[in-house]
Amino acid sequence: MKKYLCLLAICLPLALPAFAQTADEIEALLETNAVTYAQAMKNMDFLKYASMQINLFRKRMARMSVLFNSEGYKRFTAADDMRVIMLADFASAAQMYLQADTFHKELVELPRYVEVPYWQGSGTGYTLADTSQIDIVTSSGEEVQQSGILCVLADIESVGIFMNNRRSRTAYNANGEYTNFWEKADMGYFNDLSENGMVFYAADPATTSP
């Protein structure tokens, strides 16, 4: 249950209009060597560029700025407070194509991160189009579909889950002379768009969201 709540908490900010209207979304597309979205995971130039952008903005977010949250607050995110969540397709491609045959892997190595196999679902074949996609209906009723999501940078206070009202319930079985115990809690998630957050996605130019 916790892992599904975590994914839900991460996915919801990706769909919010406020994210699309600020600097929170960066297209990880090559500027000098055009590749299609379908080719990106096997293109070394693309993987280098995407890794560079992730590392670059992780460092930029460590300085005080109003650019990386949706509400214009002055925020910075120290390295220990930065959470990096990557799609496994992208992380595996970067490891194999960038780090496997280099003597200076620290130049292309991705920052400390956790992997997710998909953002919302695997589909029937674990294709990149399915694993990298979100399909979210916001609280205002707007439906947002976006594929190609590769990585999320998030301040530790920008997204999370919680448990409250923890309690135990018991039922005594008189015949067997034993007691069953049930541990319960109410679980939820939160998003704070005044804290730093950034989404990296790849898309063909004609299909990229504004």
**pLDDT tens sequence across 118-161:** 988 888 998 888 998 888 877 777 788 888 888 888 898 888 88
- In eight-state DSSP terms, residue 119 is S
Maximum separation of any 2 CA atoms in the chain, in Å: 76
Neighbours of 83 (CB within 10 A): 19
Residue 201 β-bridge partners? 27, 149
Instruction: Indicate the residue type of 193.
Output: L
Phi and psi, residue 10, nearest 5°: -75, -40
**How confident is the model over 7-22, as pLDDT tens digits?**
555 555 554 443 443 3
Neighbours of 205 (CB within 10 A): 10
Instruction: Tell me the pTM.
Output: 0.74
Residues 94 and 107 sit within 8 Å (Cβ to Cβ):
no
pLDDT tens for the 210 residues of the chain, in order: 455 445 555 555 554 443 443 334 444 443 434 566 667 788 888 888 888 888 888 899 999 999 888 888 999 999 889 989 999 999 888 888 776 665 445 544 566 788 899 988 888 998 888 998 888 877 777 788 888 888 888 898 888 888 888 999 999 999 999 999 999 988 887 888 899 988 888 876 544 444
Instruction: Indicate the residue type of 29.
Output: L
Domain chopping of the chain, boundaries: 2-205
